[in-house]
Structure 1
Amino acid sequence: MRRVLAYLLRIGGTAAIVAAVVVQVQRSITNEEAGTGEVEFVVQNFFSFFTIESNVLAAVVLFVGIFTLSKRGESRGWSMIRAAVTTYMATTGVVYNLLLRGIELPQGATVPWSNEVLHVIAPAIIVLDWLIAPGRRPLKSTALWGIIAFPILWAGYTLARGVLVLDPRTNVAWYPYPFLDPNISPNGYFSVAFYIALIAAVIGVVGAGVLWVSRLRRRTA
């Protein structure tokens, strides 16, 4: 029964995430074509959001997972990848629903149902998949370093891109989130460093919970 439910989750989750990403990027491209025409830059910006990158990774993991369910047990490396993506998506869902749920979306720029899929439905699917799908391996606490690595690399990429690549529409640096922009943060890079450390800490806590779940079945046995 769990295997059948996992199949349905992975097939449905893959389709939902791909559809949500494609529809939203199409909307962004259409809006930009009607505006200043900097489509390439807008697409780069779109795929520079942590939420989008996490959802793309989630779609890949769910899709590949469709074909691994027939195996008795997945490799430890694949369980590590699943654990990392589950952590990123769970963090996305928690932060959005606790802090950003009440913020009004830009009219005409955001596809409402796509936003709901990427921030609510997809995180729920990937977490549920981690909980019920058979085959995951128990992971040690040291795997947490691997989970935290990607968000830190993403933050480094974001800061470097903001300095090196100016928005051709405004001729100023572009950052996906205001709290990562040293030009508008109260204390510049000190504030940015604080937020990066805070994000790493939140991801670390969520990741620790994900790793604990991976060991739960063995502990119960």
Structure 2
Amino acid sequence: MAFLYLSIVTVMEKSLSLSQKVYLSMLVFIAWFTLIFQFYLHINSGAATKSELLIRFFSYFTIDSNLLVALCSTSILFFRSTLIASFFAKLHVISAIAVYIIVVALVYNVVLRFLWVLEGWSMVLNELLHVVVPIMFLIYWIYFVPKQQLQWKNIWLWLVFPLLYTVFVLVRGNFSGFYPYPFLNINELGLNKVLINCLVITLLFALLSALFVAIGKRKAKVNEGKLI
């Protein structure tokens, strides 16, 4: 019976329902609109040279996570027969991206929201990056992604990208003096405080990842009960 269920799920994953296509279309439009407009404002801000601003743009975990959402959603919607779509359609990949974008939302709305006062399009784009896109992708994961095959070992793999990102930011910041987030600024806080902050955020990634896996395993148990 379990084999039959997995076979049905596999067939379902090969095609998108109308509701899934409509939802992904909205998500793709909002994600790319936000990223492109934010890039335009950032690269023309005059805060540094164009080349430096380009590097800084992709030094934000917010941007990287939203970009992963955009690439994942676009490939699943428009390029399902390609290798990149096969990669992004993998359960552990979609789930990892969901974890990353929700961490973005949590850290911003709990820690960073009140540090800056934004107006106009900057305020709108900020809400799209930190609230709208994260919630939309979480909803997509909850309602459209079969998550029964998630494993506890996935958590370790999901931590690799945030770790590599942190190493990059700290190493580059040591030479450039630019840190995208105040809690990573070694010049202001000192190395020990930054390492403690990194540990706390790592725990957040791990706990949220464990929650996602637990949800998947709970879903699997419910489905097994239905098959008996």
TM-score band w.r.t. shorter chain: 0.7 to 0.9
Report the AA paired with residue 28 of structure 2: T
**Partner of 2:40 in structure 1?**
26
Return the offset for 1:69. 7.9
Equivalence for 1:169 = none
Q: 1-side partners of 2:199 and 2:112: how far apart? A: 20
The worse-fitting range, judged by mean Cα deviation, of 129-138 and 141-150 is: 129-138
The reply on whether 1:209 has 2:179 as its aligned counterpart is no
2:188 aligned residue: 184
Inter-CA distance 183–104: structure 2 relative to 1 (3 Å threshold): closer
**CA distance change for structure 1 residues 63 and 75 in 2, over 3 Å: closer, same or farther?**
closer
Equivalent position of 2:198 in the other structure:
196
Distance, in Å, in 2 between the alignment partners of 1:63 and 1:135 is 18
Q: Compared with structure 1, are the counterparts of its residues 107 and 75 closer, same or farther at alpha carbon in structure 2 (3 Å cutoff)?
A: closer
Matched, 1:116 2:127: yes
Distance 1:12 1:76 in 2: 18
**Superposition TM-score, scaled by structure 1 size:** 0.83
Q: 1:159 aligns with which of 170, 193, 209?
A: 170
Change (3 A) 1:218 1:126: same
Q: Please report how far the alpha carbon of residue 31 of structure 1 lies from its aligned counterpart in structure 2 after TM superposition.
A: 2.1
- Higher relative contact order, chain-length normalized (CA < 8 Å, sep 6+): 1
Structure 1 vs Structure 2 CA RMSD: 2.4
| Distance in 2 between residues matched to 1:201 and 1:146, nearest whole Å | 14
Task: Specify the code of the residue in structure 1 equivalent to 2:27.
Answer: G
In the alignment, the residues of structure 1 paired with residue 191 and residue 59 of structure 2 have an alpha-carbon distance, to the nearest angstrom, of 20
Please give the alpha-carbon distance, in whole angstroms, between the structure 2 residues aligned to 1:19 and 1:54. 15
**Structure 1 residue ranges without an equivalent (≥5):** 167-172
Distance, in Å, in 2 between the alignment partners of 1:121 and 1:59 is 13
Q: 2:152 matched to 1:141?
A: yes
- 1:78 Cα shift? 1.1
**Distance of 1:190 and 1:60 partners within structure 2:** 36
- The 3-state SS of whatever aligns with 2:53 is helix
Number of aligned pairs?
Answer: 204
Determine the structure 2 residue equivalent to 1:15: 29
Alignment of 1:100-115 (within 5 A): 100-107=112-119, 111-115=122-126
